[in-house]
Amino acid sequence: MTSIASRRPKLPPLEGELRPGARQARAQRLVRAALGRHPIGMLFSAPYAFFIAVLFAYPLGLAVWISFHRYFFAAPGVSVPRPYVGLANYQAVLDDPAVRQAFLNIAIFMVINVPLTVMLSLLLATALNAVIPFRAFFRTSFFVPYVTASVATVGVWLFMFSSGGIVSNVLGPLAPHPSWLINEQWAMPSIAIYVTWKGLGIFILLYLAALQTVPKELYEAAEVDGASWWHRFRSVTVPGVRQVTTLVTLLAVITGANLFTEPYLLTGGGGPNGKSTSPVLQIYETGIEQNHPDFASALGVILVVGVLAIVGIQQLVQRRQA
């Protein structure tokens, strides 16, 4: 285009009139200013943007809207009034003892799950971080529970931990009574241990990746200085993998906020006496089964705000430390 323009005999530029090439360049600049250097990117990301708008942003807004109104499922085609009720739904959620129990339960879950996950995955990742026989076999075997459907693994845990199951049979009198999953003290810890077992594989991989970025020279220097194994671990390894540890904590918060399949199936609907119920199970039961989507939405909003607040605070602290 510009080559054609330059081949033309040069004319003295007229006042107030731009040459065609320059006009085009200006138009291009305008398009760039308005749409960016690659407007086709809008087309490429349009399906994903549509997906986000229709199946994420709008539902998110709808959840907030429902939580401020009286809302229930009516027969199709029947129009029912859905009056604004202010914070009444939130009040009802906060006053509900079952909800409080659910939040207490995920606190218990995190207190058990986070340290157990950090310690075990760091230990196994450290053990894997060397030239050892059967390395691929070990790595894969740790990963298998993570990728298997919860429904399948919960089935085996039910088989193993039920009243007459192999775990109680092997432990004999040492097994708790009533059995693990129907015991008020043991139901939630059982879920926390199950989730730790299931999710450990991914954290082992993450720690392993982090360990491989820790410079070997640091270990050698520490060794020359006569640092003990424990000392080297504490002053070289732990700071080297801090980012992953942070990630583990964050993911545990999100996992806790997401717990559903485990209390639904493993402890038969959050039993006994709601001692292993979770917020999401409460959302399912009140919103879908008992037809109180307004209550369930308010609970969901509280849960999202809580998770985002924890993530935000954590990011802030991390930035300050860095």
Partner 1 sequence: MTQTVPGAPEVSTAPAAGSDDVPEIEPRVPRSWWRLIVLAVGALVFLFPFYYMIVGSLQRTTNTALSGVIPWPGNLTLHNYGQINAALSLGKALLNSAIFTGGVLLGTLVFGVLAGYALAQLHFRGRGLVFAFMLLLLMVPFQLLIIPLYVLIVRDYGLGDSYLGMIAPFAINSTAVFIFRQFFLHLPKELFDAARIDGASELRVLTRVALPLVRPALLTAMLLTFIGPWNEFLWPLLITKQQSMQPLTVALANYISTVSGVATNPYGAIMAGAVVLAVPVVVLVIVFQRHFVSVNIGSAVKG
Of residues 266 through 295, those in contact with partner 1 by CB under 8 A are: 268, 280, 283-284, 287-288, 293
Q: Of the two residues 66 and 108, which places its CB atom closer to partner 1 in the complex?
A: 66
Distance of closest approach, residue 184 Cβ to partner 1, in angstroms? 20
Contact between 169 and partner 1 (CB under 8 A)? yes
Applying the rule CB under 8 A, the residues between 124 and 143 that interact with partner 1 are 124, 127-128, 130-134, 136-143
Q: Of the two residues 10 and 177, which places its CB atom closer to partner 1 in the complex?
A: 177
Count of residues touching partner 1 (by CB under 8 A): 108
Contact between 166 and partner 1 (CB under 8 A)? yes
Contact between 110 and partner 1 (CB under 8 A)? no
Contact between 263 and partner 1 (CB under 8 A)? no
For the chain, give the secondary structure using H, E and C.
CHHHHHHCCCCCCCCCCCCHHHHHHHHHHHHHHHHCCCCHHHHHHHHHHHHHHHHHHHHHHHHHHHHCECCCCCCCCCCCCCCECCCHHHHHHHHCHHHHHHHHHHHHHHHHHHHHHHHHHHHHHHHHCCCCCCHHHHHHHHHHHHHCCHHHHHHHHHHHHCCCCHHHHHHHHHCCCCCHHHCCCCHHHHHHHHHHHHHHHHHHHHHHHHHHHCCHHHHHHHHHCCCCHHHHHHHHHHHHCHHHHHHHHHHHHHHHHHCCHHHHHHCCCCCCCCCCCCHHHHHHHHHHHCCCHHHHHHHHHHHHHHHHHHHHHHHHHHHHHC
Distance of closest approach, residue 95 Cβ to partner 1, in angstroms? 20
User: What x-and-dash track marks residues 24-63 binding partner 1 by CB under 8 A?
Assistant: ----------xxxxxxxxx-xx-xxx-xx--xxxxxx-xx
Applying the rule CB under 8 A, the residues between 178 and 197 that interact with partner 1 are 197
Contact between 265 and partner 1 (CB under 8 A)? yes
Among 15-23, 88-96, 178-186, 298-306, the segment contacting partner 1 (CB under 8 A): 298-306
